[in-house]
Structure formats: C-alpha cells, structure tokens
Structure 1
Amino acid sequence: MVNLSSQRRCAVRPVNAEPKRNDSMVPQAAATTVVPEMSEKVEAEDYERLAKELEKASPLEIIDKALEKFGNDIAIAFSGAEDVALIEYAKLTGRPFRVFSLDTGRLNPETYQFFDQVEKHYGVHIEYMFPDAVEVQALVRSKGLFSFYEDGHQECCRVRKVRPLRRALKGLRAWITGQRKDQSPGTRSEIPVVQVDPVFEGIDGGIGSLVKWNPVANVDGKDIWNFLRAMNVPVNSLHSQGYVSIGCEPCTRPVLPGQHEREGRWWWEDAKAKECGLHKGNLKQNGAAHLNGNGNGAAYANGTATESDIFNSQNLVTLSRPGIENLAKLEDRREPWIVVLYAPWCRFCQAMEASYVELADKLAASGVKVGKFRADGDQKEYAKKELQLGSFPTILFFPKHSSKPIKYPSEKRDVDSLMAFVNALR
C-alpha cells in the first residue's frame, strides 16, 4: 500500500493532537491512490459547480470523489448512529479513509459498545476528540450537571461538541458528515452534497480553508436503513429500543411511532431548533430557526414575536410587563390570580393550552383571576429574576393576602391537577 502521508506536505496533521497511529487507515488489497496537490484555499464557486454535478450521484460516488480528492486530509465524522453508512460506503470505494468521533463524556453505554464493534468490524481506529477538561469542570461547577434542562443546550454543546470539533477540523482540509435534508426539514432542507465549509476552518486557516462533504444529503432515512440491513453492518443497539437520532444520554430519548426522529433530541425545547451547533452553517436561516438566548426557537421581526399567540379566551387576562409588575407588588389583592409564564413557540405550552383555557372557563365566576404573561424574548431575564421562571411553561399562584407568588411544582398540567392546585391555595 502506498504510504499517503509521505506523499503529502509536512503540514498534514491528524485529526487529534497526538501522533496518528500507522494503522488508523483501512488497509486495502491492491489499490493505489495518487493524491492531487491541493491549493492553499479552495474556491467556493468550484464546489458549487461540483455540488450541481453530483446532485444526482449516489453516496458511494460522492464519497469516492471526496476520498480521491483529499486522501489523508479528509475524515468521516462518526456520531455512533446511522453514520456507520458513511463508513460502509468508504470501505466499498477501496480507498483508505479516516474516522473521528466526538466523545462528549455523556454518551449512552450502548454507544461506546457500538464504537468498539465498528472498530473491530472495519479494522479502523476511531480518532476520538474529547472536550477540554477545564471547560467542562467550570461549566459543571458553576451550573451543575444538568443545566441544559433549564437554560438550553447550546452552552453545554458548545463546550462538549463544538469546540472539540473545531480542534479536530483544524487538522484537516475536508470532512464527511451524515447530514440529511429529511433529518430536520425546518433547518436542513438546503444542504448541498459538497460545499466550502461556511463556519469551520481547516489546516491552512481562515474561512474557505475547509471543504464539507454531505454524501447522503439527498437520501431518505428509510433508504439509509435499507442499505444498512442489506450490508449487514453493526448498528447501535439503541435503535432497537426506539431511538432514531442518537446524541448524549441526558438529551436523547426514544420516539413514538409516527414522530419525527428529531423529536427525541432536546425534547424539552422548541421543535424548530433541534440543533447543537455542529452544522450551524447549513441551517436554513428563517424565522422558524431563529434562536433566542435559551437555545429555543422563537421568531422575531424588529423585536416583536411573529408566532400566533396561544391561551386565547375571553376569561383569560393578558398581562403586560407593567401589569405583572403591579400584580407582583400588591400585598393585599382583591382576588387571587393564577398566571402562566409562556412562550407561544414552546410545544409544552401549546400542549397545555386546552386545559388552561378550560381552567379559566371553570374559574370565571369563582373570584380567581386567570392570566398569562409572555416571558420569552426581552422579558425572559426579568421573568427569571423576579418571577421564578425556570422553563416554559411556569405557572404561578398569587394569593389574596401575600406578595410572594407560589410556583406550581408539578409537570401534570391537566385541568383537574391545576384546579386542585388553585383550590388548595385560594
């Protein structure tokens, strides 16, 4: 086998910072590969043209082209899910290839077992990238192990995934991902099969120094699975337990029949923002994909929300910022209040809309006022500081003779549970 590393310039580096082992490439029987010399910076228009030429090409053809073009300076990003298809395609090309993966430290045991199976099945050594221990320590010490449930997953993903990926890609000129358009139609519907990476940098540094290949961009998820079954390759055992899209253990759960695969990722957040930042440059930039400070989706135009409002009823009072400030200051109210702090894009708020409206109807003549306060966007910091907002929805009861509101502690948001909460306090 031709030693590719000896044909390249000394600037070629492995994915990780440690010296690459000689056997980290898949051995091939007889094929030899002549690796073309790459220019210092890749031209965007060249890859736009190539993307159009390969639009109808098979994943096998696309990966073969990528490996031919970049040789030892390209690697497959393997996540421990159906990305094993990329490795199988790479093996079928007969060319040597490299694989790297991000070990966040929070993966399922089944995923680690899967990594081992893949290494043995293909004869590869996955080049693992780990988060910076000091950064992880600072995050956990300041915010705890599960802060992402309260303030969004973006910060944790940035420390455990995005920054390690950035380090990995600085040792490459190109990478191969398993992104598909059907994974998240709201954010990934415009993925090309090859592009100049719009976010990350490669060996030579600067935007334009890295090429990103997405060979299964146009492939349906069901066709990926048909391929995996036909080739009898190892798969993550979590798939048989209802997991489709697999990430970190605390942030991944099975999906029900008929649910989209991304419903199992960061399920406590808005369904329009199921991204961690690894593919930020490919996200469709529209109102639905706009991220607020919580890492959840909320669309704004000139600072004003554009979603249709929820909790609409003649028996519900819409509180403005001055309104809820006045309510919170009162020490001797004429009647008690129950108020929901909500965001109209939040699917948990949407799910409780019917029961909360019914609660307002039942309490219409009871002397208990039922209100709502939109607490996302510009109001979020105030709500977190002054109104005990942790996540959406947060429900508060303002007693008749007390200035301090009482936070509803349960996740049961049916009308009977809410009514029991009100009856116990009024």
Structure 2
Amino acid sequence: MASATASISSHAIALRDLKAARIGAVRQQVAAAPAAPAVRSQRARAVRPLCAAEPARKPLSASAAAAPVAPVLVEEEASAVPAAVDYEALAQELQGASPLEIMDRALSMFGSEIAIAFSGAEDVALIEYAKLTGRPFRVFSLDTGRLNPETYQLFDKVEKHYGIHIEYMFPEAAEVQELVRNKGLFSFYEDGHQECCRVRKVRPLRRALKGLKAWITGQRKDQSPGTRASIPVVQVDPSFEGLDGGAGSLIKWNPVANVEGKDIWTFLRTMDVPVNTLHAQGYVSIGCEPCTRPVLPGQHEREGRWWWEDATAKECGLHKGNIEKEGQAPKVGVNGNGSAEASAPDIFQSQAVVSLTRPGIENLLKLENRTEPWLTVLYAPWCPYCQAMEASYLELAEKLSGSGVKVAKFRADGEQKPFAQAELQLQSFPTILLFPSRTARPIKYPSEKRDVESLLAFVNSLR
C-alpha cells in the first residue's frame, strides 16, 4: 500500500511539473509577443528621412509603385551596401555606361538611402531614368523662397506626371530674416552671391544630405567648363557629410556627367516629360529669379547665372567641391586639371586683329591723344565664353579693316589678371574695351550681346 501511494505521489508531481513547464512556456510567448513590433519599429527607423524634423515620405515612381516589391527589400538592399567600395574604380568601370545603367546601379546599391536632387531640365531627365529602372526612388528639392513662378509650376507638374511627392527643404527663417534685415533683399549684387546662397541653398542641402548615404545630381561636364569639366559619374562627396557622418560618408552620383546638353533635350522631347516653360523664353540654366536671366545667341548657358560675376566661377555652393578653394575658381580651362590654361590654343587669330602685349596695352592707357580708336577684347583662350564670340569678333575685325578703327586682343588671364582687374575694368571673360581717339579712359562695352551688329553699333556710337 505504501508503495502504491508513493507511485501515485510521484506521478502527481510529474504532472504538476509538466503543467508548470507549459504555463512557463506560454508566459514566455506572451512576454515575447510585443517584441515583433519593436523590431519592425527599429527597422523602420534605420531608414531616416531627409530631415529628422520633417515627416518621412518615401515617394515612388508610378511604375515602381505598381511593381510587386516589398519596401523591406529596399531596406535590405541599403543595408547590403559594401563596407568599402573603391569609387574611383567604379567610376572608371561606369565611364562608358549609359545614364540609365548608372542610375540603376546607384538605386540598387543604396535603395531608399539615396535621393535625386531636383531643380531643372537635367533633373527631370534623372527622374525619367529612375522611373525606367523600375526601382523605387526618392526626390528632394531646395525651395529658396525666390524661385520663378514657372519653377513652382514645374514642381507641381512633375509630381503629378510621375505620381511622386517631392521632399522640399527650406532655409531657416531666422537666418533669412537676419540677412535681409541687415543687408537688404539684393545684397548679392554688391558683395557676391555666396552669402545668400549659403543661407538659402547650402545649409538646407546640408540638412537634407545628413539623412542620406548618397545623392544623385544632374551635373554635366559641358555646363560649366571652368568648374565642372572633370566631374566623374560617381565619387565620394568632397564637401558634404551623409547619414553616418564624417568625411567619406556621402556618395555623389552624376549619371549625365558625360552627356551633352543637346542630347539631354533630345531625350526630354522623346520621352515627352514636363519642362520649365522658361526654357522657351531663352533661359537655359535656371536658378533663383533675381540671379537668372536668358542667354543670348553665342553665349554659354551658364552666363545666364550671376552674370555680374566672374564667368569662371559659376557655382552657388551646392557643388563647391568642384572649386579648389572656397569662393575661387580653379585655374583650369576645359579639362579641369590645371593644364588647360597653358595648353589651350590661342584664339582671335587674324591679320585684322592686333595682338597686344602688356607694354602695348599700357601705352594705350597712357595716351591721351590717340589718332585712332582701338577696340580691344580682354580674353582667356580656355574660356568657353571667349570661344563662343570668336567668330563674331573676327567678322567685326574684317568689317572695320581700313575704317580707321584698330581691332586688338589682350590675353588677360594668369599673371596678367590682377593688372587687368585693377587697370582695365576686367570682371569676367571676355571684357571688351574701346579706347576712343582723344580720350584718355577706355570705355567698357556694357552689353551681353556679342553679335557683329551690336558690337559695330557700340563702336560707331563712340567714334
């Protein structure tokens, strides 16, 4: 009897232990249940918005939104970016690739941690290429508060055409208020555009890029030969920091770097996409309204931006890595490596054009009773704006041959530039001066029109 009782007791103990184990397991499951949302929340936070202060939006292209791709795959792609990539080697690998191939590589490597910087025609092309890849993509833009109405209309058209939401970045109100109160609305005409651009564009861009690991721009080599001639299709950003912070934390993609402007426009017309209506009015490169104007025949597209400043430094600061020193254009011509200035072939070569040396133009400055007027262009052979007006200047020289007006040229770059700036009113290349007869001070040609008729009218009005 005692043994039976012991057997029953041991069986009861075993049942009790088994029941306790099951209850413990259920409790563990219940306790672990909230962890799943927490993991998902942590995963969602891994992909940050452009600016932490703004709600995160992940706009997709219309085609990508319809594709059966779960958002989590985008995040997994982003986390799969190699820890160390040789971007110089990658740039060489992609040197001959099409913009579509380059865009696809960029989006596949960085997923939702890369965004397209949107403002103008090249950037509509970028959005179209992104759509054609079939991958999700993001677009952001800087609203400076001083854009043309037509530019805001373009933003709206692009959002509707592609079914996306552009992530807008704005300048800090307090900084804009301080600048305007202290220096007025148009201080950039007097002391340069850098300060205004820094407040309205550069700092908002910096905040945007701190939420990304890479960005995509519409820079082209032929946009500004003075500052953009050497941009690669992909590079470690030399100026800004990305999500992880520190030097080298941001990658910059330039898919259309090797594409000419005319080919961009062929693509835009072929794909029938929205463009800024200002282009039909002669605007080529479009920025803020006070700092942008149409270009004239024979002018380079970048001459419509900050036209009152040195033509070789047409940058606002968004791509300041293109310039060797802050506020100073590199001494380059067409290839960006410093050698073009010395190796560029001379221009304005004609028997009808006198080539002045430094002593020669100094003598012109000293003469108070010249027997004949002199029309002189201050130029640099590597300058694209000088190259653009070469044909009209040579034709003018032929027309004035034998008329009593001497036509000349003076190379004013390099070591001659400080002299030309101090004594010859040089601000940008080319500068055209008329040394009238019987007048000491040379008169600077004030117009941007460089066709033969306009230059001839200037000369005849002062002969």
Normalising by the residue count of structure 1, what TM-score does the alignment of the two structures yield? 0.68
Matched AA of 1:386: E
- Aligned residue in 1 for 2:93: 52
Matched AA of 2:212: L
Instruction: From the superposition, tell whether residues 217 and 347 of structure 1 become closer, same or farther in structure 2 (CA, over 3 Å).
Output: closer
User: Which of 302, 305, 311 matches 1:265?
Assistant: 302
Q: How does 1:405-424 map to 2 (within 5 A)?
A: 405-408=442-445, 414=453, 416-423=456-463
1:106-142 deviation line (CA, Å, top 9, x unaligned): 4332211111223344454322234562796499759
Cα offset for 1:58?
7.6
1:175-222 deviation line (CA, Å, top 9, x unaligned): 123456787899568743x44334433122333211233455677536
Instruction: From the superposition, tell whether residues 236 and 315 of structure 1 become closer, same or farther in structure 2 (CA, over 3 Å).
Output: closer
Q: Which secondary structure does the structure 1 equivalent of 2:402 belong to?
A: helix
Greater per-residue helix proportion: 2
1:16-48 deviation line (CA, Å, top 9, x unaligned): 4x5232445349466322323649995242783
- Aligned residue in 1 for 2:396: 355
Q: How does 1:116-195 map to 2 (within 5 A)?
A: 116-130=156-170, 133=176, 137=180, 144=187, 146=189, 161-162=201-202, 164-179=204-219, 191-192=232-233, 194-195=234-235
1:324-353 deviation line (CA, Å, top 9, x unaligned): 4454345x5463543524104324652323
Q: Over the residues paired in the alignment, what is the CA RMSD in angstroms?
A: 5.1
Q: How does 1:21-100 map to 2 (within 5 A)?
A: 21-26=55-60, 28=65, 31-32=69-70, 33-34=72-73, 35-36=75-76, 38=79, 42-45=83-86, 48-49=89-90, 52=93, 59=100, 63=103, 66-88=106-128, 90=130, 96-100=136-140
**Runs of 5+ consecutive residues of structure 2 not aligned to the other structure:** 1-36
Q: Is the 8 A contact 2:188 2:195 kept in 1?
A: no
Greater Rg by CA: 2
Q: Is the 8 A contact 2:114 2:215 kept in 1?
A: yes
Q: Is the 8 A contact 2:113 2:214 kept in 1?
A: yes
Instruction: From the superposition, tell whether residues 48 and 119 of structure 1 become closer, same or farther in structure 2 (CA, over 3 Å).
Output: same
Instruction: From the superposition, tell whether residues 245 and 406 of structure 1 become closer, same or farther in structure 2 (CA, over 3 Å).
Output: closer
**Identical columns (%):** 49
- Distance across 1 between alignment mates of 2:124 and 2:411: 44
Matched AA of 1:316: V
User: Which of 424, 427, 431 matches 1:387?
Assistant: 424
Instruction: From the superposition, tell whether residues 144 and 297 of structure 1 become closer, same or farther in structure 2 (CA, over 3 Å).
Output: farther
Instruction: From the superposition, tell whether residues 296 and 21 of structure 1 become closer, same or farther in structure 2 (CA, over 3 Å).
Output: same
Q: Is the 8 A contact 2:49 2:56 kept in 1?
A: no
Instruction: From the superposition, tell whether residues 128 and 342 of structure 1 become closer, same or farther in structure 2 (CA, over 3 Å).
Output: same
Matched AA of 1:387: L
Q: What is the count of residue pairs matched by the alignment?
A: 396
- Aligned residue in 1 for 2:241: 201
Matched AA of 1:310: F
